[in-house]
Structure 1
Amino acid sequence: MAKNKYSPSETKYKRWIKEGRGNGHGIDYLPWITVRDIPSDGRSHRVFGHKSQRTHHLLSDLELAVFLTLEWRSDTKDIREQFPLERQDTLNIALDNGIKHPTQAGVNLYMSSDFVIDSSDPSRQQYVIQAKYSQFLADPRVIEKLEIERRYWRLKKIPWFLVTELNVSPILTQNISWLYPAERDEIDDDVLLERTAFYGELFLQNPTRAVTDICKQLDSSYNQPVGSSIYEIRQLLANRCFYFDMSQPFHLLKGQDFMVENMGNLIGSRDVSNQ
């Protein structure tokens, strides 16, 4: 009987290595596993990364939530998802610790970490995240494989973290998901400054009014299509012109909840990132 197209094989691994999977940085990185390499259950995602300027392959909703959170962090420089571990190293770790190495159909699998992150934080310039739903942590076999991965990165002297859905704020993820697409909008610095000053003054004049009500009145007063003002604010927030408590639902925020960024620093950082 023919092998399932998703089944591992040494021939497939050799082809992936030849393709350069697991190598490169930024726009040139190729993930070891893509959404096309696993059976589709509707929970995988292909998402454009603003920092890497490429499409990222995420294999669960949890991975998507972690990815969006990492993308939003100002100190994140690069995110490499589905990063392969050197197989001989994981085989040695498994043997030394009496753990059965992952295999399928007689093939020793390449293990992978969900995210390898490069950061501008001098105290942690690189770290690794494995995203796993908490329900799977009751499985001893899952714990064994996580232990191989943990020991692998410890040998590399790179911090490794296990993240579950319990560590990810649903509201934070919803806010980032709402803002994220607007990061791709190209807006001139002069327009950002003008709009920030305009909305900043509007928020000061309406400190206790909900931002949604402020926008509805503004659209009506200027005879604009409904939603025009809220989209401009969305663009400003995506460009970090204002800050707000991302742990709070956006639609509940009031004028007083928005803080203006130092625009000199903002424009400077935009100039650097666009070079």
Structure 2
Amino acid sequence: MAKSKYVLTEKQIIRRINEGRGSGKLSNYKPWLYVNDTLNICQEHQLWHPAQNGVNQVMSSDFFVSSSSKVQPRFVIQAKYKNALKDPRTIEKLEIERRYWQLKKIPWFLVTEKEIDKIVVDNIEWLYGVKGYFDKLITDELLLTFKHMKAYFSHTPDRKVVEIAKEYELAFGQKLGDSMFDLRLMCAARLITFDIRYPFHSLRARDLVFRGVAFDEGHSYVAS
């Protein structure tokens, strides 16, 4: 990784400190580098900053992660499809981004779909399909079904989830697919958790963790 030539004079550093750069918390935080600094990176390294109709566009990174790790408490992730990396202009913009975070001494990583397990992606897409219901996921009706399913699934821990779901539908007079949809909602609401590295439709009852649900004066919540 080439060392950046971008340096500040002592006068510039003092001015930025007086401006409160790099200090503050949450909405009051003032970054050490602003968009103009990104522009300086482009000028010094002969890179073309994105612009439209003569107006410089704001560049962004996909994820800024704060972790509990003492070794790497903060890092940045940019996600791109692998095919996008064949475009020279995309590479140039990624280089601008990489150099920006290098100046801030924050690790920057590029991730493509090749680094993500396909099973994990499929499970996420399966759960994401009920995103539109998220605001009203945990209803009294769903919680009642959750209690029934929790008890029903506990009787046959070695059987496949899909088999028990079909049996549950017959036992309670549901339409085909209703119980799987309810399970999907419960997983999306984290009433039920499972190892996302394994295909949901191949799991057995013992692989599902039904979380505790507490009830208090007509209200309910998921226990941590």
Query: Shorter-chain TM-score: what band?
Result: 0.5 to 0.7
Give, in whole Å, the separation in 2 of the partners of 1:108 and 1:150: 22
Q: Which runs of 5+ in 2 are unaligned?
A: 1-32, 215-220
1:145 aligns with 2:100: no
Q: Specify the alignment match of 2:82 in structure 1.
A: 134
What is the one-letter code of the residue matched to 1:90? T
Q: Specify the alignment match of 1:267 in structure 2.
A: 222
Query: In 2 relative to 1, CA 261–159 (structure 1 residues): closer, same or farther, beyond 3 Å?
Result: farther
**Shift, 1:197, TM fit:** 3.6
1:217 aligned to which of 157, 167, 171: 167
CA contact (8 A) 2:76 2:108 kept: yes
Q: Specify the alignment match of 2:136 in structure 1.
A: 185
When the two chains are superposed, the root-mean-square deviation of aligned CA atoms in Å is 3.3
The residue correspondences of 1:159-238 to structure 2 (distance < 5 A) are 159-180=107-128, 181=130, 182-188=133-139, 192=143, 194-238=144-188
Number of residue pairs matched by the alignment: 182
Query: In 2 relative to 1, CA 216–253 (structure 1 residues): closer, same or farther, beyond 3 Å?
Result: same
The residue correspondences of 1:55-204 to structure 2 (distance < 5 A) are 86-96=34-44, 98-102=45-49, 107=54, 109-110=56-57, 112-117=59-64, 121-123=67-69, 127-138=75-86, 141-180=89-128, 181=130, 182-188=133-139, 192=143, 194-204=144-154
Query: In 2 relative to 1, CA 233–136 (structure 1 residues): closer, same or farther, beyond 3 Å?
Result: closer
**Shift, 1:108, TM fit:** 6.6
Query: In 2 relative to 1, CA 103–257 (structure 1 residues): closer, same or farther, beyond 3 Å?
Result: closer
What is the one-letter code of the residue matched to 1:155? L
CA contact (8 A) 2:194 2:209 kept: yes
Give, in whole Å, the separation in 2 of the partners of 1:216 and 1:268: 28
Query: In 2 relative to 1, CA 104–190 (structure 1 residues): closer, same or farther, beyond 3 Å?
Result: closer
Give, in whole Å, the separation in 2 of the partners of 1:95 and 1:238: 46
Give, in whole Å, the separation in 1 of the partners of 2:186 and 2:89: 46
Q: 1:85-122: CA deviations, max 9, x gaps?
A: 954222211233x3322456884742522424465x44
Q: Specify the alignment match of 2:18 in structure 1.
A: none
Q: Specify the alignment match of 1:247 in structure 2.
A: 197
CA contact (8 A) 2:138 2:189 kept: no
Q: TM-score, normalised by structure 2?
A: 0.65
Q: TM-score, normalised by structure 1?
A: 0.54
**Shift, 1:219, TM fit:** 1.0
Secondary structure of residue in 2 paired with 1:149 = helix
Q: Which runs of 5+ in 1 are unaligned?
A: 1-84, 270-275
Structure whose CA Rg is larger: 2
State the identity %: 39
